[in-house]
Amino acid sequence: MNEHIKKATRHTNQNEGLIFEKSSPGKRAFDLPPLDVPSTDPEKSLGTHHRREGVEGFPEVSEIEVLRHFTRLSTWNFAIDLGMYPLGSCTMKYNPRVNEYVARLAGIATEHPLQPQELSQGCLKIMRLLEKCILEITGMDVVTLQPAAGAQGELTGLLLIRAHHEKHGNPRKKVLIPDSAHGTNPATAVIAGYDVENIKSNAEGQVDLAKLREQVTEDVAALMLTNPSTLGIFEQQIPEIAEILHAKGALLYMDGANMNALTGITRPGDLGVDVMHLNLHKTFSTPHGGGGPGAGPVAMKKILEPYLPTPVLVEREGGRLALDFQRKESIGRVKAFSGNFGVLVRALAYILAYGPGVRQATEDAVLNANYIRKNLEGVYDLPYTRPSMHEVVFSDAAQKRHGVSTMDIAKRLIDYGFHPYTTAFPLIVPGALMIEPTESESKEECDLFIDAMKSIAREAQTTPDVVKTAPHTTRVRRLDEVGAARKPILRWKPAKRSEAAD
């Protein structure tokens, strides 16, 4: 009898199948207005060869089924709107809803990127004001808003550096990247045509200046530095690092992924950084949306301006804004049209809401991270003890003795109502627990998180199996990732009825 009961009692356990499994011929969820011109015969206009009868296997469902399907799926996600999301280096802060509202306004969402510029002055003004704000925040001279995400910002930055060196006779061969860097840095350097040379952090998690002096030669195009580093530590010697590079004609690239620790406190442009990107979906609160979209503006010093990607936003006489496509030394385009404009709108709305008060957000983010650090020090191992900025990195060294890993602790956090922190990154900390609370968490939420972490540390000693088999409260248990990769099933296919039942 039980096998016929398809509906479970708790909504998060509802047996929501794939939309394709709900399909039944003849159902529909959308009607078009009647066609008001003569219908063109596809057979005649396209020819038999090009004509398609319809998409095989496409779902046929009603509107209520669509809404329920996706609403039910949504309940299987954790989200910032549900609670603390302490993913290190991801800056999962509150995504203000007014930003969503303004991005959808008629006259904003409706605009075509190729429409005449005299009909686009509103869009161009938004971009101009965001540019000015970014320059003020970073202390740079020029910015491009075109890159679609952080990784594309990195590529744009390296292409600018390459163009600069080429102009001076030699593109150079290598890009230096610290061992604590995010994986996009080395992957990007390769696309820009550079060899990657790793530089080791010293025992304090800082760049080893003596070693750096040896490594920086005339072959080095740039150093890509994340500051604060992925250990959440501010690189104090950044002006000296810039000097070492500049002495050999190399440039300093800063990965601005962690700008949430610096906004309103200090400016990379004042520290000797030549070019950097920002992740608007981190520091500037645009929603991560389950993996994107983002935007990765690149801010730079004047020396790199000639190489900006096209088009470049310029001011003409009378304050009229225009897009300049005629730039002889440009690195070219990195993306079609004008960047992820809708994301730019949201970022500007965020900045306008704070104004100069954005410094308070930075202070609260750093306060939260240090509060959590203070309360968990001694409970979890702290491999690097220099002051923390916006995030703190512990290791699972103490829990490992009981066979409990950072991943187990992370999964157990889910049962306590939190999203896991970042696990196993940065690579220089074996078994890392990388915690970034952001400014969006109240003292109460931080206290709950601390309690949960302490409780899990106790469990690791007394009942390690509970931790190792977590989570226990989710719709699905730990998933077989090895099996998924060994025999990849990457799409739904019609199956026999008996196989389709889950």
Partner 1 sequence: MRYLPKSPAEREEMIAAIGAKSIDDLFSSIPETYRLKKPLNLPGPLSETEVIQYFQERAAENSTGYTSFLGAGVYNHLRSVVTDVVLQRGEFLTSYTPYQAEISQGTLQAIFEFQTLMCQLTGQEVANASMWDGSTATTEAVLMAERLTGKGRVLVARSVHPEYREVLRTYAKNSGLHIEEIGFTPDGTLDTRALQNALKQDVCAVVVQSPNFFGAIETLAPLADAAHASGALLVVAITEAVSLGVVSPPVEADIVAMEAQSFGLAPSYGGPYAGVIASREKFVRQMPGRLTGQTTDSAGHRGFVLTLATREQHIRREKATSNICTNQALCALAATVHLTLLGKEGLREMAQHNLSKAHYTLAELEKIPGVKRTFKAPFFNEFTVEFPRSVKIVNAYLLKEKFVGPFVLGSAYPDLTKHALVCVTETTSRAEIDRFVAAVKRALEQPL
Cβ atoms within 10 Å of 388's Cβ, excluding its own: 23
Instruction: Give the whole-angstrom CA distance, residue 140 versus residue 278.
Output: 12
Binds partner 1 (CB under 8 A): choice among 84, 88, 137, 258: 137
Of 263, 279, 313, residue with least CA distance to 143: 313
Q: Is the dihedral of CA 32, 37, 43, 45 positive or negative?
A: negative
- List all residues 6 or more positions away from 475 whose beta carbon is below 8 Å from its beta carbon: 12, 13, 76
Residues 304 and 298: beta-carbon distance below 8 Å:
no
471 lies in the binding site for partner 1 (CB under 8 A): yes
**Options 6, 8, 11, 18; binder of partner 1; rule CB under 8 A:** 18
Q: Which of 32, 210, 326, 496 contacts partner 1 by CB under 8 A?
A: 32
CA torsion, ordered 374, 379, 381, 385, to nearest 10 deg: 20
What would the x/- binding string for partner 1 be over residues 185 to 204, using CB under 8 A?
-xxxxxxxx--x--------
353: CB partners within 8 A, 6+ apart: 96, 98
Contact call for residue 494 and partner 1 (CB under 8 A)? no
Selected binder of partner 1 within 219, 249, 375, 464 (CB under 8 A): 375
Nearer to partner 1, 281 or 461 (CB): 281
CB of 262 to partner 1, least distance (A): 8
Assess 340 for contact with partner 1 (CB under 8 A): yes
Q: What is the pairing mode between strands 174-178 and 392-395?
A: unpaired
Question: Which of the stretches 128-136, 247-255, 300-308, 397-405 binds partner 1 when contact is defined by CB under 8 A?
Answer: 128-136
Find the binder of partner 1 among 341, 380, 384, 394 (CB under 8 A).
341
SS3 100: helix
339 vs 399, beta carbon nearer partner 1: 339
Is residue 459 part of the contact set for partner 1 (CB under 8 A)? no
240-269 residues in contact with partner 1 (CB under 8 A) are 262-267
Q: How far is CA 356 from the centre of its chain?
A: 24
Check binding of 87 to partner 1 (CB under 8 A): yes
Q: Which is nearer to partner 1, 107 or 214 (CB)?
A: 107
For partner 1, give the closer residue by CB, 68 or 402: 68
Query: Is 499 among the residues that bind partner 1 (CB under 8 A)?
Result: no
Stretch that binds partner 1, among 1-9, 51-59, 210-218, 455-463 (CB under 8 A): 51-59
**Which x/- pattern, by CB under 8 A, does the window 418-457 give for partner 1?**
-xx----x-------------xxxxx-xx-----------
Residue 149 contacts by C-beta under 8 Å, 6 or more apart in sequence?
A: 279, 281, 292, 293, 294, 295, 296, 340
